[in-house]
Structure 1
Amino acid sequence: MNAPDLLRSDWMRNRTYDELALGQSARLVRTLQQSDIQAFALVSGDVNPAHLDAEYAEGTRFHGVIAHGMWGGALISSVLGNQFPGPGTIYMEQTLRFARPVHVGDTLTIVLTVLEMFDDSGMVKLGCEASNQKGQTVISGLATVLAPRTRIERPRPALPEMHFLFDAEARMNAWLSEIKLATPLRCAVVHPCSEDALRAALLAAERGLITPTLIGPENRIRALAEQFELDLHGCQFQPTAHSHAAAEQACAMAAAGEMDLLVQGSLSGDELLAAVQAKPALHTGSRLAHVYRFDIPSYAKPLFISDAGINIRPDLDAKVEILRLAIGLAQAAGLPCPKVAVLSAVETITERITSTLDAAALCKMAQRGQIEGAILDGPLAFDSAVNLEAARLQGLNSPVAGDADILLAPDLESGSLLAKLLEYMAGAASCGVVLGARVPLAMSGRTDSVRTRLGSVGLAVLAASPVGWSERRELQHR
């Protein structure tokens, strides 16, 4: 074992009974976060609205959400079990008096002091006090423990990350609030004949992102709004008989320069894309490509994935176009030089796997300036693209490996499987947009939530008007 004074921070060392003395103390400082309250509620099952319902809590005597009382008690247990006396300590008894509430943002200082020691049994009584940042006593009490008699030095246990505390709604709202526009963009909402499709468009309008024109059967849309108490104030209508006509009308308006973006309502994506492809005035000479934006609990930043929606088996030329569209979107989202991982099954280049050859060619093209605005590396397997430890174990020395902003999928099948895996197994929040036409298309599946649809609108707004994001970033640096 290491000498006690040279123990690394990832090791735990106790204090034996013989090392304790009357008046000796230890302290812990901890600031309460909303995630602490959520975690304690999940573990304990205590979902008292005083801790979790902000509207209810505001009307209580505490005027806001407060921590569970036993959260503070758990901090006392943390000191006892981790450091004072530490590993080997056996809890015998605990008394607590709760003097004041603890609100989110309050900082508690926990102090444990040895008051009595019993040599024959090894029992120790410790005074426990928690005070807030104002010096006010919040919790007081007495802990009785059996202190360890022998030295214990152990590696600090590794705990899994609590991904279930990922608040997708809050993350989405925070991201959308960063998009600032001088003027809302003109938006054709195509056939919004479901509650989620209509509600998402109206929420985007409330945020000042779009001025919506609702294209579809007007009576049906108004009846839907009345049924779900949705306010259509400020919305314009372009009545059509059915979804096919709505798609044609929306594309005609976009082709005439009357719309800045299209938003898929409750019609199928294939129906809307067919209308776009049938309108030559919407073509730009580029192929269409779908780009996902993911917020993933276990990844520190947003991740873009393309193409997982349109191009089934893209060749090298198609991948160049897809990549340019994805890079442009990432730049519009505030990444001046995104890191692109060109995915394959392996990191080595082999003629047996075409995607490795494509990856090598794309990286050489970027090196020679044929692809601009990003740092490319590939071929990279998925783990090496997003995990620094995996990249290290593979011996990859790259600014992209383990820290990618954009993943270029080898084909639609792998991209779609990866996207669904992240959403349904990793708890990721997603949204998507189709690029390459004269105007971007906010695309959503028929079963997508309001949050996903709203995010897709935000992504399309960035693609149509990146100035809003750039102006915000410039203001932040002033």
Structure 2
Amino acid sequence: MEVLQPHYDRLIAAARQVGPVTVAVAHPCDRSALEAALDAAALGLITPILVGPKARITRAAEEAQLDISALTLIDTEHSHASAARAVQLVREGQAAALMKGSLHTDELMGAVVSTATGLRTARRLSHCFVMDVPGRAEPLIITDAAVNINPTLDDKVDIVQNAIDLAQILRFDPVKVAILAAVETVSSKMPSTIDAAALCKMADRGQITGALIDGPLAMDNAIDPAAAAIKNLKSPVAGQANVLLAPDLEAGNMLAKSLTFMAGASAAGIVLGARVPVILTSRADTVQARLASCAVAVLVAHSKLSSARVIEG
């Protein structure tokens, strides 16, 4: 049975409206990576530049009966060189986003965070899943589920601000962030609850901006109004959060994958905090989820380009 994904449909439509951006696709040497790039190109979301070993890419395309003749292909020797060259294209202004091909995520991110030749900014890099969950009235952002393993409080400040900035680009109105823990009370025995309390006070002081923030909140009283009411939580966030900050990568990853494989949700993945958005797709992703990942990156890239033009002007 086909699962309807209305939120992704709207994201893709919005991205098509603003127009395609050039995306450097690092090491697309299998069918899944090539199909992701071709599908997004066919829909008018991106203009892909394939970066990788020409012979391997050509062979993969032939075996999958995919026509890549219209795409630019830059030949490299191996996956590390593919990641480095894709990042270089961004530094040279030839691409406005990166897309992971069939190389390991660590290889691509290693090139992105390189001190000398990478794409780092003052902001820490973090990953967001934009989830289309059946039955929800709006998308749900979960962070961080792929980059920061055991983030410190300082890390979480950047992680949550990255997510808020993304939510604003995606027109969440208002952005409501729940800082997740196992309980909704602050306990010295649970460091995640202390981090949550600190983040909320930092938001009160203007160190985090652009959202309503509350925590610690357990998962049930973060997203379910009835659960929040039972606990007598009086908060504009409790029961209606649209951004969830996980205490660590393992919790965030399990939460996102539980929604995907047990609740029929889809997860569009993107890394933020670098000069350009980084599209992370998986071979397990549906076509719609891959397209949604590209759509989110397009909207973020256009937002960055618009900000750059304002600054230059």
TM-score with structure 1 setting the length: 0.61
Pick the aligned partner of 2:168 from 331, 356, 363.
331
1:313 is aligned to 150
Give the structure 2 partner of residue 400 of structure 1.
Answer: 237
Alignment of 1:142-153 (within 5 A): none
Greater mean alpha carbon deviation, residues 275-284 or residues 339-348: 275-284
Contact in 1 for aligned 2:180/2:246 (Cα 8 Å): yes
Give the unaligned 5+ runs of structure 2.
307-313
Structure 1 residue 369 displacement after superposition:
1.5
State the match for 1:411 in structure 2. Answer: 248
Q: Which runs of 4+ in 1 moved over 4 A?
A: none
Gaps in structure 1 of 5+ consecutive residues: 1-163, 470-478
Question: Does the aligned pair in 1 maintain the 2:7–2:138 contact within 8 Å?
Answer: no
- Map Cα deviations across residues 201-247 of structure 1 (whole Å, 9 max, x no partner): 11211222211100012233233333333332541111112212111
Which residue in the other structure is 1:191 paired with?
Answer: 27
CA 1:315/1:405 → structure 2, altered by over 3 Å: closer, same or farther?
Answer: same
CA deviations over 1:414-453 (Å, ceiling 9, x no partner): 1111111111111111111111111111012344343332
Tell me, in whole angstroms, the C-alpha distance in 2 between the residues paired with 1:358 and 1:180: 39
The percentage of aligned residue pairs carrying the same residue is: 48
d(CA) in 2 for partners of 1:458, 1:279? 29
Letter in 2 for 1:321: D
- TM-superposed CA distance for 1:174, in Å, is 4.1
TM-score, normalised by the number of residues in structure 2: 0.91
**2:276 is matched by which residue type in structure 1?**
V
Cα deviations by residue, 1:175-214 (Å, 9 ceiling, x for unpaired): 3122245542111011111212111111211222211100
Report the Cα distance in structure 2 between the residues aligned to 1:270 and 1:316, rounded to whole angstroms.
Answer: 23
**What whole-Å deviation, never above 9, does each CA across 1:351-371 have from its counterpart, x for those lacking one?**
111111111111111122221
For the structure 1 residues 225 and 165, does the alpha-carbon distance in structure 2 shift closer, same or farther, using more than 3 Å as the test? Answer: closer
Inter-CA distance 441–466: structure 2 relative to 1 (3 Å threshold): same
Residue in 2 that maps onto 1:237: 73
Matches within 5 A, 1:9-408: 166-168=3-5, 172-280=8-116, 281-408=118-245
| Post-superposition CA distance 1:309-358 (Å, at most 9, x none) | 11111111111000110011111111253100010111111111111111
Q: Kindly tell me: are residues 215 and 377 of structure 1, through their superposed partners in 2, closer, same or farther at Cα, counting changes over 3 Å?
A: same
Q: 1-side partners of 2:7 and 2:123: how far apart?
A: 32
Q: Quote how far apart the aligned CAs of 1:252 are.
A: 1.4
Q: Secondary structure at the match of 2:15?
A: coil
- Of 453, 458, 477, which residue of structure 1 is paired with 2:295? 458
Q: Find the aligned partners of 1:329 and 1:387 in 2 and give their Cα distance.
A: 23
Counterparts of 2:160 and 2:207, CA distance in 1: 11
How far apart, in 1, do the equivalents of 2:292 and 2:191 lie?
34
C-alpha deviation, 1:459, in angstroms: 1.8
Question: CA 1:331/1:319 → structure 2, altered by over 3 Å: closer, same or farther?
Answer: same
Tell me how far apart the structure 2 counterparts of residues 256 and 398 of structure 1 sit (CA, whole Å). 47
Partners of 1:332 and 1:365 in 2: how far apart?
A: 22
Give me the whole-angstrom Cα distance separating, in 2, the residues matched to 1:279 and 1:249: 15
2 CA distance for matches of 1:174 and 1:323? 24
- Compared CA separation, residues 216 and 264, structure 1 to 2 (3 A): same
Secondary structure (helix, strand or coil) at the match of 2:270 reads: strand
1:448 to 280, 285, 296: 285
8 Å CA contact 1:182–1:468 kept in 2: the answer is: no
**More helix by percentage:** 2
Instruction: Tell me the amino acid that sits aligned with residue 346 of structure 1.
Output: V
Larger radius of gyration: 1
- RMSD, aligned CA: 2.1
Higher strand share: 1
Instruction: Between the two structures, name the one with larger relative contact order (CA 8 Å, sep ≥ 6).
Output: 2
Question: CA–CA distance in 1 between the matches of 2:286 and 2:17?
Answer: 25
1:336 and 1:324 map into 2 onto residues whose CA distance is: 16
The CA distance in 2 between the partners of 1:452 and 1:165, in whole Å, is: 13
- How far apart, in 1, do the equivalents of 2:197 and 2:230 lie? 21
- Amino acid corresponding to residue 37 of structure 2 in structure 1: A
Structure 2 CA distance for partners of 1:468 and 1:395, relative to 1, 3 Å: farther
> Does the aligned pair in 2 maintain the 1:176–1:458 contact within 8 Å?
yes
Amino acid at match of 1:400: V
Determine the C-alpha separation between the residues in 1 that align with 2:77 and 2:18.
Answer: 34
Cα distance change of structure 1 residues 468 and 391 upon mapping to structure 2, 3 Å threshold: farther
